[in-house]
Chains A and B, each alone.
Chain A
Amino acid sequence: MNAIEIEDLSVDFNNINVLKDINLTIEDKEFVAIIGPNGGGKTTLLKTILGLVKPSRGKIKIYGSKSLDKSRSIGYVPQFTKFEKTFPIDVFDVVLMGRLKSNIKFFHRYSKEDIEYGKNIMNMLDIFELKDRQIGQLSGGQLQRVLIARALCTEPKLLLLDEPTASLDEQSKNNIYSILRELNKKMTILIVTHDGGFVFSYIDKIACLNQKLFYHGEPELNKDIMDKVYGCPVDAIAHGDIPHRVFRNHEGEL
């Protein structure tokens, strides 16, 4: 079964066309990156998939279902740089948030299983020793792992990450991608990213987005595809025989 099926999706904000006629299919256990310029609608696409933004037209199916119970199968990792880091909450509580159920139960307390589940995931991501830290006391890479842990606590089949490595140093970046590659064995992963370079060796497909979906396929682009895409203005460095290339700027159509 396909993880995500998007058909003729358009999203407008105040009469501004943010996404136009998007068709995208992501198979189960694929690792897909959405790249594209700022303001190109990457985050909007992610939010539409999550149900946070209502599409103006078109359909989105998550594992074959349109209904809201898709919430249970999507794990969401928001942009960690946008957090209110002074909020009085510690790492363990953030991770456990992922165990909350949608039905609000009176006097809800986390069960032993919830706590055990959270602990296991924190151990797996190597953040258990940080559990009592307030979230403002974490490095970017640590906070990112905490947010991934929280998303994993929802037991997702599909993991969505919004710029998971923005403003991280190379080592933390590597660390996050190796975690994602490990997770990819068990679940579908969709990331929005500005990363190029080594990242593409982990990725099955890229989707190049700037209002429209310009390209959707293997990350190892050849010149033919590039011409077809007619380039998102991103620096994309692909692994393989051709070591380095830069997309051209948009022309014509836009």
Chain B
Amino acid sequence: MIDSILKYTFLQNAIISAVLASIICGIIGTIIVEKKLVMLSGGIAHAAFGGIGMGYFLNIEPIIGALIFAIASSFGVVTIKEKSKINSDTIIGMFWVLGMALGIIFVSLTPGYPPDISSYLFGDILTVSKIDIYVMAILDFIVVFVIIGFFNHIKSYLFDKEFSKVIGINVKLIEYMVFLFMACSVVVLIRVVGIMLVIALLTVPPAISKLFTYNLKKIMGLSIVFGLVFSLLGLYISYKLHIASGATIIIISVCSYVISLAVSKLLKKDQLA
């Protein structure tokens, strides 16, 4: 495989995007799992489909359209939730289907040969383009920089929003930042595992890491490692067996979670004995 990696740019792109996706996933996925925002991230991913359709329709990069829709929907959910007493589940559900519906309309309105939508729905790490990589790299850089830079305040917000507000921290700013980053990470992942499977790569690595440590920084770090292992292994297997990369990555992730759960239970039993 090493020869092919050196020979084919699409494989190089695939590996770079796997690394970039794992980094953002590990950090933002941990926040999503801790704040119980899994449904919201799923909703954002599906709403982003509207942006992909819009991208094709307006003839701009679909990933840019996805980014716009993802950010708009995540801010939309927070704002509506704050202004009204509606259950956020309900709002997320509406954004979820509205995005999908808009995407379908846009795609059907797009003149000419219909674009390949399935690579966005199920992800195809082997078709990641240079522009995708640039977008991913920039988002990665921003997220890593800001999360490390404001780590103590963000941690304080995540743990106890009310207290953070009382001591005068601008929790609203942090909250919008977290939601912005969630939207960014979802978009990064769409190219790698696809809209349908985004949730898995965001939640499985932190869920596994949580079994082994109580330290937020370590959970983020471990999640990055797990994400990297899953996506590279998935890439390798899908390349060898000629099967869908996104689905392979997810199956490996979820199986690993089950195994880790069993291992951690055994370890704890040993400690007790």
Contact = CB atoms under 8 A, between A and B. Distances in A.
Contact of B149 (A76, A84, A102, A106): A106
A89 B34 CA distance: 11
A148 to B, nearest CB: 12
B159 interface: yes
A66 interface: no
Contacts of A102: 167-170
B216 A89 contact: yes
Interface residues of A, number: 33
Contacts of A76: 162-163, 166-167
A109 B170 CA distance: 18
A100 B167 contact: yes
Given A97-B156, A97-B160, A104-B153, A88 B169 contact: no
Contact of A98 (B167, B174, B219): B167
Given A88-B215, A97-B159, A104 B169 contact: yes
A72 B152 contact: no
A106 B149 CA distance: 5
Contacts of B219: 88
Given A88-B214, A107-B149, A108-B153, A150 B163 contact: yes
A93 interface: yes
B150 A89 contact: no
Contacts, number: 80
Interface in B119-164: 148-153, 155-156, 158-160, 162-164
Nearest to B34: A87
B85 to A, nearest CB: 7
Contacts of A84: 159
Nearest to A109: B152
Contact of B166 (A14, A52, A83): A52
Interface in A68-126: 68-69, 71-72, 74, 76, 78, 83-84, 87-90, 93-94, 97-98, 100-102, 104, 106-110
Interface in B218-245: 219
- If over half of A's interface residues share one DSSP class (helix, strand or loop), that class is named, otherwise mixed; here it is loop
A134 interface: yes
A76 B167 CA distance: 9
Contacts of A106: 149-150
B210 interface: yes
Interface of B is mostly: helix
Interface string A42-57: 0000000011100000
B265 interface: no
B214 A93 contact: no
A78 B149 contact: no
Contacts of A88: 34, 210, 213-216, 219
A97 B214 contact: no
Given A87-B34, A90-B215, A134-B214, A71 B150 contact: no
A164 B41 CA distance: 36
B162 A52 contact: yes
A154 interface: yes
Interface of B: 34, 85, 148-153, 155-156, 158-160, 162-170, 173-174, 210, 213-216, 219
Given A84-B159, A100-B152, 10 more contacts: A52-B165, A69-B168, A88-B34, A88-B213, A97-B160, A100-B153, A107-B148, A108-B150, A108-B151, A154-B167
10 contacts: A51-B165, A52-B162, A78-B163, A88-B210, A89-B155, A97-B163, A100-B152, A100-B164, A101-B167, A106-B149
Interface of A: 14, 50-52, 68-69, 71-72, 74, 76, 78, 83-84, 87-90, 93-94, 97-98, 100-102, 104, 106-110, 134, 150, 154
